[in-house]
Amino acid sequence: MGISIAPVRRLTATAFLLACSAAFARVEAADFYQGKTISNIVGFGPGGGYDLYARLVAKHLGNHIPGNPGFVVRNMPGAGSRIAGNFLSNVAAQDGTVLGFLSSAIVLDQLLDPSERRFDTRNLIWIGRLNDIAQVAVVWHTAPALTVEQAKEKQIVLAASSPLNLSATLPLAFNRMVGTKFKVVPGYTTDMVLAMQRGETDGVGGTSWEPLKVTYASLLKDNLIRMLYMMGIERHPDLPDVPSLPEFGRTEEDKQVFRLLGSISDIGRSIVAGPGTPMDRVEMLRGAVAEMIKDPAFIADAAQLQLGINYLPGPALQRMVDQLTGSPSVVIEKARAVTAPQVGSK
């Protein structure tokens, strides 16, 4: 009995058409970006973390985009990146020539406080995450409790920056959902880890992992600083033994609340595009970022600037944000309630 080769021919023809389509898309992108300039809109002032990542991308991403467009960085600080987000969504060209570097809290902020918002984060298009913003809650080794479980029995005092910062609101959420006895002392403007060393507090409600591991490397090595939890959705590669927030949820609803609160760390230093950006250019930009983070020149510059890279591809980042923004209203309401500042906080 003869074997039909028609299906093989059809598959070959399909593969050929797909290859031609991809090649045509790159040619079209090269034609579009040739001689153009892409603006990186930063929701903060010059010199900060978001600005440094935006300038690093501005230096390298054009080398991986057909047509080799130029880049310019524009700082639009204010209102927790809301000014920059509004510009990106409602003013900027929606053609792939404007990218945004917005606060990693922008999604959670809108879910918990949707008032006075002139754009919708659900409509932003996520190109890729360059790095997470890992934060940890820590205690000194002589604290009355060294784990979350122990903190259900003994009170520990945690320093925080402002009453509205996650370093203050997240310990309160633990008290209300897990039954811990954290006492939050907000208002610290100096080094909270140093205050912990001096005995002013037992620990810190939240501090960035990157500077902590550099500045206090010897204390970490000697096990003088203990980790309570990672303020993220997933465990961090640097700290595989430190539990992430959802692990403390006693119900599925509580796990979803903790996922929302941990999203700030996992969204991290991400690149976004305006809601009207054509999807063919979105895919091209996502591919360019994926190539850029493997570029030895990019890697060398990131290392020189001491900028960590924990890349998350655009599609995975988009799925994560879509899941967060699609959280049930009961979860959002509970997140709002359990993070409300305690009465009397200044």
Which CATH number covers residue 15? 3.40.190.150
| Domain-embedded: residue 328 | no
Q: Are residues 124 and 173 in the same domain?
A: no
H helices of 131-251, where? 166-177, 192-197, 209-215, 217-221
Residues with pLDDT less than 50, the chain: 1-3, 15, 18-24, 346
Predicted confidence at residue 45, as pLDDT, reads 95
Q: Are residues 80 and 190 in the same domain?
A: no
Identify which of 121, 154, 124 has the alpha carbon closest to the alpha carbon of residue 139: 154
Domain count, the chain: 2
| Domain-embedded: residue 226 | yes
Predicted confidence at residue 3, as pLDDT, reads 46
Q: Are residues 88 and 152 in the same domain?
A: no
Q: Are residues 240 and 276 in the same domain?
A: no
Predicted confidence at residue 164, as pLDDT, reads 83
Q: Are residues 25 and 140 in the same domain?
A: no
| Domain-embedded: residue 316 | no
| Domain-embedded: residue 81 | yes
Strand partners, 273: 99, 125
Domain CATH code at residue 166: 3.40.190.10
Q: Are residues 101 and 168 in the same domain?
A: no
Q: Are residues 158 and 247 in the same domain?
A: yes
Q: Are residues 21 and 94 in the same domain?
A: yes
Q: Are residues 117 and 22 in the same domain?
A: yes
Range of 230's domain?
135-264+333-338
Q: Are residues 273 and 251 in the same domain?
A: no
Predicted confidence at residue 312, as pLDDT, reads 97
| Domain-embedded: residue 317 | no
- How far apart are alpha carbons 191 and 184 in whole angstroms? 16
Predicted confidence at residue 210, as pLDDT, reads 87
Predicted confidence at residue 22, as pLDDT, reads 46
Q: Are residues 124 and 192 in the same domain?
A: no
Over the range 210-224, which residues count as b (16 or more CB within 10 Å of their CB) and which as e? bebeeebeebbeeee
Predicted confidence at residue 69, as pLDDT, reads 97
Predicted confidence at residue 161, as pLDDT, reads 87
Predicted confidence at residue 191, as pLDDT, reads 85
**Residues listed for the chain:** 346
Q: Are residues 139 and 256 in the same domain?
A: yes
- How far apart are alpha carbons 60 and 74 in whole angstroms? 16
| Domain-embedded: residue 150 | yes
| Domain-embedded: residue 344 | no
- How far apart are alpha carbons 282 and 284 in whole angstroms? 5
